[in-house]
Chains A and B, each alone.
Chain A
Amino acid sequence: MSTTEFHTEPEAKHLAAAPRFENKAGRFIGQKVVRKEDARLVTGHGTYVDDVVLPGMLHAHFLRSDFAHARILSIDVSAALELDGVVAVLTGADFAVPEGSLQASMMKLLAAGAPRPKDNPLALDDVRFVGDPVAMIVAESRYVAEDAAELVVVDYEPLDPVVDYETAAEASSLVHPELGSNVAGEIALPFDDHVNGLLEGAAHRIEATFRQHRHTNVPMETRGIVAAFDRYSGELTIHVSSQNPHEWRRRAAELTGLDTTAVRAVQKDVGGGFGQKMFMLREEAAVICAAHRLGAAVKWIEDRRENLMAGNIARIEKGTVTFALDADARITAATLDHLDDAGSYGSSGGAMVGMLLTGPYKVMRNVWKTRTVYTNTVGRAAYRGPWQFETVLREQMMDHVARQLGIDPVELRRRNVVQWEDLPFTNPMGMTYDIVTPSECLEQAVEMIGYDAFRAEQRRAFAEEGRLLGIGLGLYVEPSAQNVATLNTEGATVRVSATGKVDVYLGTGSHGQSIETTMAQIVADELGVDLDDVVVHQGDTGQTPFGGGTGGSRTANIVGGASAMAAQEVRAKVCAIAAHLLEASPEDIEVSGGNASVRGTPAKAVTLAQIAVAAHDGVQSLPAELDVALEASVRYRHPDVTWSNACHASTVEVDPATGAVKILRYVVSEDCGKMINPMIVEGQVAGGVVQGIGGVLYEHQQYNDDGIPLTTTFMDYLVPTACEVPDIEYGHIETPSNTPGGFKGMGEGGAIGAPPCVFNAVADALALVGAEVFDQPLGPRQVLDALIAAGR
């Protein structure tokens, strides 16, 4: 099925209901233009952090703990120091960093006052997971640094590891003894008479517990940094592989005590992050401190074993959900008891899981509690849709409830989903959705996948051939571009150079999102110039405005908003100068094709290059009151969360002999507002979907009972390959948002919708033989276990 068949243009029914949107017919916005980034990347000429080579640069390597939990009794570095080429061997005591210096700026605000582990780039007294950095060797080459690591002697006293997060709260051993508990945080909303009444008076009250397993981001480029400190100029330059260069600059300043003005963070190309590189982790902090201490340039490039062992964990959590439904299967109340695993040093998305549990459905009340615990595993970090367990829980629960009540899962969703007429709709947590189309996406996905025909084929294939086919859905609304702390705002500077070419400076940290292309599309349309005449600069805090980082599906509308507004300001200045040169009124000037011309008299025109020359070289002949600064810096403040939404649908076949799952078809119906570049939208969807598929069927970051990681190579941690993935089919519904340009965020969505979609399809197939599944992953072993439990 082609995309266009299902493409709903902005002129469709919802446009009238979104009057705040000004639909500009862009030459570039909305077009599948190829990317500006690509020429250098396809030829191997990108500049990733490992490609940065500085004069006299040293190389760091970390000696890491082999124990999940142990006390360091002594560290002897003398033999390592004797090795030729070794410059320094540093241990935890060498890194006395200020308290709070490793905490992200955003979390300082959001988690103010909450107890947290001591900031220590290297282990100080105890090691808290296998891979915990214990010593850092700085040498003339990485080979020598790794040789030296073998000469460091560490004496450990093993302690009991806390590995199982479900029992961590009761464990006698403490991951962080100074905190007095393995419970990192708890939030509970109280039950009240209203919600108790809804639960007690329900026609149906259904409860289920679902688990999501530990997996990890796996950017193809691992983490890395080159930090260089010049003692004589006082400048610290960090070349980073991050999503968030301005945050890294702040961390580096706080870690070293330098002024932020003495620190410059630079990144050119970054090989993925998916959340892992949004905030600085301990090794990068250690490299910065070492460079500062040594007055040298120090490079550290994480290897894959380190990334899988000591990068981060994500997704590991469980939830017990209760739905109260009336006699018509309308959900009246939902409750959740949630637990997640922060690892040794990590954050939690638990509150967001509770807040968003009811998703696109019209539920009156939602009461939840969430608890986060520490374990002796790697720290948890954000992974594409860090709160996506709300969709996993809800959508898997919808199918479970449908089976319990004997209702088709599409019908159950139809009875509960928010309709266009319901908007604006305020969910039971007080979050207001507007300009969303979950019902429309549900119907589009159902139509595209051929739901009814598949149901008929499923029955036939089972009855006649005993085959286990299944179909699943995943429906969600996504709070893209959240309006919290640092994430609220972005800046853009747009500048017309003396030749008429346009420079755009953004505070972003692109790591695959195509920002150099999409933001240029916006600016080119606003200024009426060719796409080739606009160059986007980002990733260098020395030249770009402050930004909150690339993540959280926030770039399209927040950075897009800043870019559009800055370009509009420049356009006004361009028009004023053009009006003077053409002896016309500024209101009569229009820009297109690289020209400014008098409306209705296209022959009466000057080129942007001529205007630029006038503003740079011929200022003396322009009136004094004319603003000749052909640039504007705008800080866009995002008014509210922008909700996007999608519905995923997939069909699978389960092989009852092997437990293997084959995905037959995969459909995504997405509404991300006005699409800047549909090719890039679909690329983002596809990437997220395949990460979600990988998470359910293949990826599992495992520890044994002693806390030893078992999946530290790509032979053990299974990332999907081209052989496993289905062809993804896309449907688009474009309802423009109320932000400049009408964009909505969508980068994370694929990874939010895919896990429950695939899970539900497998569960649907297994239900044919009475087998049930509640926990991910669904590898062959788990599928066979479910079949065996059902007596097959």
Chain B
Amino acid sequence: MSTDEHPVTLTVNGRRHRVRVESRKTLADALREDCTTTGVHLACEHGVCGACTVLLDGEAVRSCLVFAVQADGADIVTAEGLAHPDGSLGPVQEAFRACHGLQCGFCTPGFVVTVTAMLRENPDPTDDEIREGLGGNLCRCTGYQGIIAAVKHAVANGGVQ
């Protein structure tokens, strides 16, 4: 095994993880393998599909395009961390369920994180802004109909705050 390992501290959904990672290990792999956040999904590993999207210090990023060592000291929120502490669904998650915004669910955590970031930045997006905001995430099941409806539903129900 490689001896090229670095200590990294990642705060994931409020919990601190001190892990040792190879410099080439992606943040996505570190989150999945070392921090138990398997809601981070890998569907392309080249930064196009958005399934691995997480909030890195509040900003939506593709965790397959970030090395874990680059995230040292960062505060990370994944789809797991967007549920309420009692386990009930967060507002975006609830909207996805209400509007059938998911089928197989594989792309869904990435969409939930993306939409959360979108609505924090722009709490009342136009239809075009919604589509533009979703344009960096791929879904193969829903035809995006339920996802677009879910964003509107979340906005109508008070957004993400």
Instruction: Using CB atoms and an 8 Å cutoff, list the residues of chain A in contact with chain B.
Output: 34-35, 37-39, 41-48, 50-51, 84-85, 140-141, 143-144, 218-222, 269-272, 274, 301, 303-304, 511-514, 679-680, 682-684, 686-691, 713-715, 719-723, 725, 727-728, 750
Contacts and interface: CB of A to CB of B under 8 A. Distances in A.
17 contacts: A34-B98, A35-B100, A39-B97, A42-B97, A42-B102, A43-B80, A44-B40, A47-B38, A85-B1, A221-B106, A271-B41, A272-B140, A514-B103, A687-B141, A691-B140, A719-B140, A721-B137
Contact of A714 (B42, B131, B138, B146): B138
Given A41-B102, A269-B105, A723-B135, A304 B80 contact: no
Interface string B33-51: 0000111111111101101
B122 to A, nearest CB: 15
A283 B141 CA distance: 25
Given A35-B97, A220-B104, A687-B143, A44 B37 contact: yes
Given A143-B24, A220-B107, A43 B39 contact: yes
B104 A270 contact: yes
A311 to B, nearest CB: 13
Interface in B111-138: 112, 130-132, 134-138
Contacts of B137: 721-722
**Does more than half of chain A's interface fall in helix, strand or loop, or is it mixed?**
loop
A532 B108 CA distance: 23
Contacts of B79: 42-44
A36 to B, nearest CB: 10
Contacts of B109: 42-44
B43 A44 contact: no
A139 to B, nearest CB: 10
A628 to B, nearest CB: 37
Contacts of B48: 713-715
Residue among B41, B44, B147 with most chain A CB within 10 A: B44
B83 interface: yes
B138 A512 contact: no
Contact of A143 (B22, B89, B130, B146): B22
Contacts of B139: 220
A593 B97 CA distance: 25
B78 interface: yes
A683 B146 contact: yes
A750 B142 CA distance: 11
A512 B107 CA distance: 11
B103 A512 contact: yes
Given A144-B1, A271-B106, A721-B134, A48 B140 contact: no
Contacts of B140: 218-220, 272, 274, 687, 691, 719
Contacts of A301: 42
A686 B45 CA distance: 27
B93 interface: yes
B89 A714 contact: no
A38 B106 contact: no
A513 B145 contact: no
B100 A680 contact: yes
The 6 closest A-B pairs by CB, nearest first: A44-B39, A271-B106, A41-B105, A690-B143, A512-B104, A686-B143
Contacts of A220: 41, 43, 49, 51, 104, 106-107, 138-141
Given A42-B108, A43-B83, A44-B109, A722 B100 contact: no
Given A43-B79, A274-B140, A304 B44 contact: yes
A50 B44 CA distance: 14
Nearest to B134: A722
Contacts of B46: 304, 713-715
Given A44-B79, A221-B41, A722-B147, A271 B105 contact: yes
A42 B81 CA distance: 11
Contact of B145 (A44, A46, A683, A719): A683
Given A34-B98, A38-B97, A512-B141, A714 B105 contact: no
A272 B106 contact: yes
A219 B49 CA distance: 12
Nearest to A39: B89
**Does more than half of chain B's interface fall in helix, strand or loop, or is it mixed?**
loop
B144 interface: yes
Contacts of A513: 103
Interface residues of B, number: 56
Contact of A727 (B39, B83, B97, B145): B145
Contacts of A750: 143
A723 B139 CA distance: 12
B27 interface: no
Contacts of A143: 22, 24-25
Given A144-B1, A719-B138, A723-B132, A48 B93 contact: no
Contacts of A512: 103-105, 141
B160 interface: no
Contacts of A728: 143, 145
B42 A50 contact: yes
A689 B110 CA distance: 23
A725 B149 CA distance: 13
Given A42-B96, A48-B41, A713-B46, A725 B144 contact: yes
A51 B38 contact: yes
A783 to B, nearest CB: 22
Nearest to A85: B1
Contacts of A690: 142-144
Residue among B22, B134, B143 with most chain A CB within 10 A: B143
Interface in B8-54: 22, 24-25, 32, 37-46, 48-49, 51
Nearest to A693: B143
Contacts of A683: 100, 103, 141-142, 145-146
A680 B102 CA distance: 10
Contacts of A725: 143-145
A784 B143 CA distance: 27
Contacts of A719: 138, 140
Contact of A679 (B37, B100, B147): B100
B82 interface: yes
Residue among A35, A513, A683 with most chain B CB within 10 A: A683
A367 to B, nearest CB: 37
Contacts of B32: 50
Contacts of A714: 44, 46, 48-49, 138
A303 B28 CA distance: 14
B148 interface: yes
Nearest to B42: A50
B104 A511 contact: yes
Nearest to B49: A714
B143 A689 contact: yes
Given A220-B43, A304-B44, A42 B93 contact: yes
Nearest to B93: A42
B59 to A, nearest CB: 19
Residue among B37, B41, B51, B136 with most chain A CB within 10 A: B41
Given A219-B140, A687-B103, 8 more contacts: A42-B109, A220-B49, A221-B41, A221-B106, A271-B41, A272-B141, A304-B46, A723-B131
Contacts of B104: 219-221, 269-272, 511-512
Contact of A45 (B1, B39, B45, B98): B39
A689 B141 CA distance: 10
Contacts of A43: 39, 79-80, 82-83, 89, 93, 109
A470 to B, nearest CB: 21
A680 B138 CA distance: 20
B128 to A, nearest CB: 9
A41 B139 CA distance: 14
Contacts of B131: 722-723
A525 to B, nearest CB: 20
A37 B140 CA distance: 17
Contacts of B146: 683, 686
Nearest to A218: B140
Contacts of B49: 220, 304, 714
